A = this chain, B = another copy of it.
Amino acid sequence: MRNFIIFIFGLFVSVYPENISAQSAVWTEAAPGVWNIIVGEPDKFDLYKAAEIKPATEALSKMKDSPFPFNEKDIFTEVVKDQTFIRFPLIKDEQIFGFGLNFKTVWSRGKILLLHVDHYGGTDNGRTHAPVPFYVSDRGYGVFINSAKYLRVYAGSAVRKEKQEESAILDRNTDKKWTSAPYSDAVEILVPASGVEIYLFAGPTTLDVVRRFNLYSGGGCLPPRWGLGFTQRVPTLYTSTQVEEEAKSFREHNFPLDFIGLEPGWQSKSYPCTFDWDRTRYPDPASFVKKMKEMGIRLNLWTNPYVSPYSPIYKQILQYTGTHTVWGGVVPDYSIPDARMIFLNQLKSSQVDIGVSGYKLDENDGYDRWLWPDVAKFPSGNSAEQLRQTYGLLLQKMTYEMFHKNNTRTYGLTRASNGGGSSFPYVIYNDYYSHEDFITALINSGFCGVLWTPEVRGSKTSEEWLRRFQTVCFSPMAMINAWSDGTKPWSFPDVENEVREYAFLRMRLIPYLYSEFAKYHFEGTPPFRGMNLEPGFDSKTKMELKN
């Protein structure tokens, strides 16, 4: 009766042998140890399409063979009208990690999430800068949902009637063992679409799973060596003269400095942006960039993606923008090649051609009121929701390709990313400033193919300053962000020597960091990762599922 009701409502697709209704609903090996399945009719635009992934098949084929990590019949998928239901089994004591850049907890089992690109708001509820729909199990497999929609995830919290353990039914009146979260034997995911593509990554180890996931996106990024040095972001209204002085003061204080980040004031107008130099603060950008490079210092430029009517590209890009504005700026549909070209032409001719080395891609995540609404429409026909989930990916991809075509490397910052972005040389940052949670995010970044910097801004005490500085020196980007307060590494004189020691330790680590990034690139091994990815840390990291 139940099945009948569902059937008349829409397409019914399942991997249960008795219900196979579509030839496509079978798992296919997409690469060694990587399988995918097409359930129903997926959306045309997804994460891998946005990222235009180029799987590192050669590297993947070098990995040990690993069998399909499940009995197929234990995986359940079903399309009902405009929703796709997915269920993967969990066994007792199995631990899972991932579901993107969470800040509070490493273990993901039990979480209920709405995966939604957003500025992290203090709760691991799925709203974060990189809500990657990927999880990895300590049983040696990983699951990726290739969807650019807001996904509802029940990561081992939902209990089905037929799987209910009778012993879990307790009387709360009198039984102290009563719990609001009884044992659940599955990860369940709801995709708001009439189909979806799912990927499975084999181990055998947990780290192998993550490696395959990263390699399938093209392998991890390989930053330039200067990107692994030290960087300072200067106050927003600094002039070229002040930036030069800043560089000199680093030398005077005997602090290393490899690149400087300019904040919004380099642009003639910002929020929305002109993507053009402010000629009062930067009267001669080409000479300035050249002079800095002669001092051995690269430049990274802040920008957000919204186009001001005062921008030279406004008229040209207008036809490729969405229905709604952000602070008066139009919102380009960067899923359209022509929109990307117009934007990149401006960046290239005005900045990259004179030697600018990278970008900080701001305001592409949230908060909701800092972005376009979900009711916006875009000329590509991709929904506002799909663009929200992929805007960070699109911006990373296009700017990375621009540098790549110029035969130069880049290393920049982004506030949003998603699944498929491992190969883009960008590091995620945010405005949330909990030191403890910044470290948790660093651990979690390793589970989902993104990089994260626990940037240092102000501190209340010199102790805090030193601890934050130590943390950031052991992260993908060693950075002080002084855009607002002008802090310098020596701002706390009583720990200046200790801070300097860590700055130079970072410098001495560059060859090692570079080697680790090479492993990220060629083998998919995340350069920063939690101990749960280390063989031997957890004896359960064996593939024992297929019994």
Residues of A within 8 A of B (CB): 1-2, 5-6, 9, 80-83, 85, 87, 110, 112, 152, 154, 157-161, 164-166, 168-174, 178-182, 188-190, 192, 194, 236-237, 264-265, 267-272, 278, 308-310, 321-325, 327-330, 368-370, 372-377, 379, 381, 383
Contacts and interface: CB of A to CB of B under 8 A. Distances in A.
Contacts of A308: 169
A172 B376 contact: no
B112 A164 contact: no
Given A264-B172, A271-B172, A5 B324 contact: no
A276 to B, nearest CB: 12
Given A180-B370, A309-B169, A374-B152, A160 B267 contact: no
Contacts of A82: 81-82, 192, 194
Nearest to A266: B173
Contacts of A329: 169
A339 to B, nearest CB: 14
Contact residues of A: prevailing secondary structure = loop
Given A112-B368, A168-B328, A373 B188 contact: yes
B190 A112 contact: no
B189 A375 contact: yes
A56 B376 CA distance: 38
A5 B465 CA distance: 54
23 contacts: A1-B379, A2-B379, A5-B379, A80-B377, A82-B82, A87-B375, A112-B368, A157-B373, A158-B372, A158-B375, A158-B376, A159-B325, A161-B324, A168-B327, A169-B309, A169-B329, A171-B269, A173-B267, A174-B237, A180-B327, A180-B370, A182-B328, A189-B375
A9 B381 contact: yes
A190 B372 CA distance: 13
A304 to B, nearest CB: 10
Nearest to A181: B369
A242 to B, nearest CB: 15
B270 A172 contact: yes
A30 B158 CA distance: 42
